[in-house]
Amino acid sequence: MKKIEKIKKLAIGATLNALLLAAGGVSSIALAQTAGAGQAFPSQPLEFVAHTAPGGGTDQFVRLMGEIFTREKLVSQVPIISNRVGGGGAIAYSYVKGKRGDPHVILAVATGTFLSALTRTDLGFSLDDFTPVAFLAMDPQVVAVSGDSKFTNVKELIDAAKREPNTIVSAIASATGSGRLFQYMLEKETGAKFKYVSFKSGSEAGTAVAGGHIHLTTENHSEVAAHLESKKVRVLAVTGERRMAVLPNVPTMKELGYPIVVGTGRAIAMPAGVPAASVATMEKMLRRVVASKLWKDYSATNNFEENFLDGAQFRKYLESRREEFQGFLAHVGLLKK
């Protein structure tokens, strides 16, 4: 667990050393391409945009990106981390949509929330408002309860939610994110009915569970990891294809007999209308990111299922999941006709 904390600290913003290096004029790698008339990309600090509050899974991901971009000297100026919270991601997505043509605005995509925003007809977003750049990895969810919870396994949670519908309370980061998607699938599979309370981030949801105020959360491992060492939280199951290396005794949902695999895709997009050369440069940078030691350490600690997809492949992935999200959003009452 100390390793987890060390990695998380590394990912929180740029270090003083990085700032000093940037101030000294460290040159970026020879990836810069022409971004416009006579300008190389990037010609100014990159702004990484997260839709969650500080501490959330997407916030941790975007800060990790900023740290790696600086350490690997992919950029000469320290990236800006921009948390634009609210509206189930709509605030962040509206901001990025409004930056059409600006390659220096980089959206940290959590695929569940992003797909929900693209599918909802009332928000006015289209995939054509963004430029998919790359899908990096799948970040599995966990089923976590407080350390002194009476629930010792997933079946007990399900049985209680079937016996007394809407009395077992779940903390989620978003009404349309992957944590809520997982529980939609679980309810569909088992007939259980949970009650939901939304927080600004998965880390806040995890804190509520650790304090014993909420029965469970189904957000990412990284968002409850800080509470595992103190035993304020227990993980009953993971939602990926395989067990987590850091939780070797915790079964997957599939092992428990529930054919459910869900995770938060960690990906990068840019606004629509950005120069093709800038997109190509960003993709090259991201390939350097996933080859870095800091990424590999963080990925292993959080059991990321790595699967790099380029922009065209990432776009196809998003398009292939639209029907699934239409059913999900119709179920939760967010698909307007």
In angstroms, the CA 46 to CA 105 distance is 6
Residue-range domains of the chain with CATH: 2-138+265-331 (3.40.190.150), 140-238 (3.40.190.10)
Q: Where are the beta strands (DSSP E) in 19-104?
A: 33-36, 39-41, 47-50, 80-83
pLDDT digits (tens, 9 = 90+) for 102-128: 999 999 999 999 999 999 989 999 999
Give the number of other CB atoms < 10 A from CB of residue 80.
Answer: 16
| Amino acid at the residue 51 | H
CB-facing half-sphere around the CA of 114: CA atoms within 13 A: 30
Distances (CA, A) of 139 to 47, 129, 169, 264, 270: 23, 25, 23, 5, 21
Q: How much is the pLDDT for 39?
A: 66
In angstroms, the CA 159 to CA 182 distance is 17
The residue with tokens 């990096």 is: 136
Q: How much is the pLDDT for 31?
A: 44
Output phi, psi for 307, to 5 deg: -160, 90
* DSSP tally for the chain: helices H, then strands E: 13, 13
Mean pLDDT of 129-133: 98
Q: Which of 270, 237, 298 is nearest to 5 (CA)?
A: 298
The residue with tokens 């040159």 is: 27
Specify the DSSP class assigned to residue 281.
H
Q: Are 138 and 264 in contact (CB under 8 A)?
A: yes
pLDDT digits (tens, 9 = 90+) for 51-96: 998 988 899 999 999 999 999 999 999 999 999 999 889 999 999 9
pLDDT digits (tens, 9 = 90+) for 265-322: 999 999 999 999 999 999 999 999 999 999 999 998 888 889 999 999 999 999 999 8
In angstroms, the CA 137 to CA 140 distance is 10
Q: How much is the pLDDT for 226?
A: 87
C-beta contacts of 151-157 below 8 A and 24+ residues apart: 151/215, 151/216, 151/236, 152/236, 153/236, 153/256, 154/236, 154/237, 154/253, 154/256, 154/258, 155/256, 157/192, 157/215, 157/216, 157/236
